[in-house]
Structure 1
Amino acid sequence: MGKKHSKFDINPAASTVTTTTAPSSQARTGGTYLVTEENGSRSSHQQPKSQTKMAANDVFVCNQGDLKDGEMREVEVAGGKVLLTRDKGEYYAVGPKCTHYGAPLANGVLCNGRVRCPWHGACFNVKTGDIEDFPGLNSLPTFEVSVRDSKVYVKADAETVKKATRVKSMVKHVADNKQTFVLVGGGPATVECAETLRQEGFTGKVVIVTREKHLPYDRPKLSKAMDIKPEAIALRDADFYKSHDIEIQMEKEVVSVDSSGKSVKFSDGGSVQFDKLLIATGGKPRTLPIPGLDLQNVCQLRTPGDANYIASAAQGKKVVIIGSSFIGMEVASCLAEKAESVSVVDLIKVPFQLTLGDKVGAALQKMHEDKGVKFYFERSVKEFVGEDGKVTEAILSDGTKLEADLCVLGIGVVPATDFLKDSGITMTTRGFITVDKSLQTNMADIYAAGDIVEFPLFTAGDQQANIQHWQMAHQHGHTAALNMLGKTTEVHSIPYFWTVQYGKSVRYTGYGPGYDDVVVHGDLEAPKFVAFYTKGETVVAVASLAFDPIVSQAAQLMLNGGTITKEEIKDDPKSWTSRLQKF
């Protein structure tokens, strides 16, 4: 999973830290050992100043027997907190919060040398602090742990504890390296790919090409905080890309790829040659052939500009949302207290019916209805009607007329791959790119990642699957980078996504298409529940609300090759969690 840092590489800029295997009489330090004057020897290299500073802050945190294997807790050091873990008899200490959105990792899952975030499933190596599954880009700082006289001590400096995040070391472009790797798309797949390339020692040119006018940003936030500005949700700022020699070309739309000539052509007539290419263009909003679709204030949500406009135009107005899946319902949640009214129209029977099922969908519907949202199910929009070029009404298929100052289409996306039609790259009839486990297309040196691909999903018997999750796009970018460098790696990640509505978060892991039953525990009216989606006698997906960390526990069990049976969750939703520590 990329370059591993020494337990003592707290400062990513430190290029040399000497460690060695110590005799049993020396102080144990989290699975690796540091030879110092304190234990009678000296390392052959002077320790970085940050290490010397840390050595002055040696804090007793617990007795050796206070934690069992597989347990963790936050402990106080240097005016802050770190996460102390015990794994296979060794103690480790890392930053206490997930680097994605700051979830307390102590509430997550520790298993097999990894701690998994309870909110969105990101995973960190407890020995190195490195992020090994996603979402998020940064790793955790690590801190030296020693055990002396059955007491556990952590060494840490206040500055590192306060920062609580770490960027892995990266190389820069070297003029002698004439290779150019081009990454097309402005999402997490290209950003994670670029960073992994630099972390793994690639010194050629790295070029990210995006048709957007903003630096790559946290797109899931657009439907959850619609008035947010793009600079506030940028994955990295401009200085970051510049300092790591990652070139960003914005407002560059790709119109064709010459696979044999290894070039990418832009709509402005320009082009760029590549040695390796990653295509990660994501989706574009699905449209419907509805009369009046071109009226003003009939909107789609894809960019920060879209989100900001919708948030502003909805104030005190009548809003009609077409679609009751994740985009549509998150928009409804955002606008319910701002708009005069919010109405949702869909062909299905309850929100999220296809993904979460009738029971969970009905519970979430009630949550929206309690906020004043009205639903019009088993109907579609037949026509948008307007005056002076601006929408005033949505006419439904059954003749119902809904007053509308603003209409938002939230009916999903289609792959943005039209520009590949003459490239020779294999695609499905729906426009998804077919790739193997290494994200390689059928064309040499061309890879694809994220929402636009179908790839072999190991939890589904390696059947080709399309997973349009923010988390999986990160993992694809990381995996593609390793394979672009000749480091053969297969995608090995469990799908994980979430939605936030009215401050409540539903988490989901697994691969649920084709499920034939849903077993629900908890209280759907509260709402506080966990839902198990089963196919035959096997649980294929798990969703929860206010039931943490059960979804992250399920993700970890599935990642380790374990399965949950329908029988064992029939009466007790948590009985299977005891098996996590067997891995």
Structure 2
Amino acid sequence: MTTHTDQSVVIIGAGHGGAGLAALLRQSGFTGPITMIGDEQHLPYHRPPLSKKFDGPSVQQLLRPAEFYAENQIEIRTRSRATAIRPDDKIVVLADGTEIGYDTLVLATGSHPRALPGTPEGTTSVMTLRTLDDAATLNRSLTRGGELAIVGGGYVGMEVAAVARSRDMHVTVIERENRILARVASAELSTMLTDYHRERGTTILTNRSVSDLRTDGAEVTGVVLDDGTVVDCGTVLVGIGAAPDEELPRSAGLEYDDGVITDEYGRTSDPHIFAIGDVARRPVAGHHGLRRLESIPAATEHARHAVTAILGHEPEDHEVPWFWSDQFDLKLKIAGLTTPDVTVVTRPTPGKNAVSFFHIQPGSNVVAVEAINAPSDFNAGKKLIRSGAPVDLDALADPSVKLRDLVGRSESN
């Protein structure tokens, strides 16, 4: 075990991955100096409430009490931005010129929202949602009144739409694909969510893109679509995806291709530098090639595996990737990775608006499950994914057949 007090770990990024890694190092017996660098003014906080609530006092939820860091001798530098890495000298350079040495460096810098092309400079009511300050800005803009236009029908956009509709605001979602969540969900789930939102007053426009914005000074007054339609609004939330932070990894000469290339434990092309979370592109068990997993569970799990590698511990089993989303009274839990050319088996589940969609690859093995208000289906789906064994599709679709029986059969094969 690496416990030498003369070995230092520096973590760039104070989100779920970076803060989790620092805590795990201490819990695992590491006694050397730990420094965490975050460019926000806030201590590490939970990010899900930003899109699931974004207003009210419950939005700011610290990951750990403020005193945790001092009590565990973790130096945390808020309002600090790393601008360069000098790997030959093992030094991180901050924007104010401060230089911090390291023995092991961990990049947990996440990703940044993509901006809407053509947004006039100085426009104050066109925004993205990634930070606590972004959530406060969005809430202030909506409080001033006016309709909300959301560009991009991904999970963040649909979560914000649900919250805004619950506040009786008029919401229009503009999606350039032929359905919402086209990149990350089955057509079955997309259809269900589209219907659910429309029944509650959300306007959803698909196969539409933004060609221009109408403004009055710094304020937006409307979104002009590619067919000439104008969507009147007072706030525009842009949710068209996120890009991994690139400047720092490239300054260190790390192998990079839509993310820092790492192994499954976060090791980069430099033996003294790890990368975890959204910024890392890595192997995922059961899938070919490298992938970036943009979720909090993925970031915290990647942090756990990086800690075992840093400390020289025995590798642990990897968790099935998973994600969750809350929209109105729907609680979605998704396990596995959705891929093209799968068969989707729909399984009705007792309960209000409860259903699950199981993704089946050729060979009849489950590769993903989308469970809506069905936590037991989600848990069973994770086990079926991990086993990789074929399942009886007719039995899977039959709610009278207990999933635990299917799991038992798959685990015994």
The TM-score normalised by the length of structure 1 is 0.66
Rounded Cα–Cα distance in structure 2 between residues aligned with 1:515 and 1:245 = 50
Query: Which residue is equivalent to 1:477?
Result: 303
1:365 shift after superposition: 1.0
Tell me whether 188-197 or 567-576 shows the greater mean CA deviation. 567-576
Query: Which residue is equivalent to 1:248?
Result: 76
Query: Which residue is equivalent to 2:130?
Result: 302
Tell me which of 414, 425, 428 is aligned to 2:243: 414
Does the Cα contact within 8 Å between 2:210 and 2:223 map onto a contact in 1? yes
Cα displacement string for residues 193-215 of structure 1 (whole angstroms, at most 9, x for unaligned residues): 11121112111101111111111
Cα displacement string for residues 369-423 of structure 1 (whole angstroms, at most 9, x for unaligned residues): 1221101110111111111221111100110001111100011111012222231
Call closer, same or farther: CA 1:328–1:566 in 2, change over 3 Å.
Answer: farther
The within-5 A match list for 1:95-494 is 177-229=5-57, 232-292=60-120, 294-315=122-143, 316-338=145-167, 340-428=169-257, 430=258, 432-460=259-287, 463-489=289-315, 492-494=318-320
**Residue identity opposite 2:241 in structure 1:** G
Cα displacement string for residues 436-478 of structure 1 (whole angstroms, at most 9, x for unaligned residues): 12211010121110011111111225x3221111111111111
The TM-score normalised by the length of structure 2 is 0.92
**Residue identity opposite 2:327 in structure 1:** Q
The answer to whether 1:528 aligns with 2:354 is yes
Rounded Cα–Cα distance in structure 2 between residues aligned with 1:510 and 1:293 = 40
1:557 shift after superposition: 3.8
Rounded Cα–Cα distance in structure 1 between residues aligned with 2:397 and 2:199 = 31
**Residue identity opposite 2:17 in structure 1:** A
Does the Cα contact within 8 Å between 1:438 and 1:488 map onto a contact in 2? no
Query: Which residue is equivalent to 1:145?
Result: none
RMSD: 2.4
1:521 shift after superposition: 2.1
Call closer, same or farther: CA 1:540–1:471 in 2, change over 3 Å.
Answer: same
Cα displacement string for residues 254-310 of structure 1 (whole angstroms, at most 9, x for unaligned residues): 111112211111111112000001101001011132243642201111111111221
Does the Cα contact within 8 Å between 2:189 and 2:370 map onto a contact in 1? no
Tell me which of 558, 567, 579 is aligned to 2:385: 558
Say which SS state the counterpart of residue 203 (structure 1) adopts.
Answer: coil
Rounded Cα–Cα distance in structure 2 between residues aligned with 1:363 and 1:233 = 31
Call closer, same or farther: CA 1:527–1:307 in 2, change over 3 Å.
Answer: same
Matched residues, percent identical? 26
Structure with greater proportional helix content: 2
Call closer, same or farther: CA 1:215–1:376 in 2, change over 3 Å.
Answer: same
Structure 1: gaps spanning 5 or more residues: 3-170
1:230 shift after superposition: 8.1
Call closer, same or farther: CA 1:557–1:534 in 2, change over 3 Å.
Answer: closer
Rounded Cα–Cα distance in structure 2 between residues aligned with 1:439 and 1:314 = 40
Cα displacement string for residues 171-196 of structure 1 (whole angstroms, at most 9, x for unaligned residues): 9xx9x822210011111211221112
1:232 shift after superposition: 3.8
Rg comparison, structure with higher value: 1
Structure 2: gaps spanning 5 or more residues: none
Cα displacement string for residues 287-336 of structure 1 (whole angstroms, at most 9, x for unaligned residues): 13224364220111111111122123213421100011101000101111
Tell me whether 230-239 or 216-225 shows the greater mean CA deviation. 230-239
The answer to whether 1:578 aligns with 2:405 is yes
Rounded Cα–Cα distance in structure 1 between residues aligned with 2:201 and 2:322 = 30
Relative contact order higher in (CA < 8 Å, ≥ 6 apart): 2
Rounded Cα–Cα distance in structure 2 between residues aligned with 1:457 and 1:227 = 35
Does the Cα contact within 8 Å between 2:366 and 2:381 map onto a contact in 1? no
Say which SS state the counterpart of residue 332 (structure 1) adopts.
Answer: helix
Tell me whether 550-559 or 241-250 shows the greater mean CA deviation. 550-559
Does the Cα contact within 8 Å between 1:497 and 1:507 map onto a contact in 2? yes
Cα displacement string for residues 145-184 of structure 1 (whole angstroms, at most 9, x for unaligned residues): xxxxxxxxxxxxxxxxxxxxxxxxxx9xx9x822210011
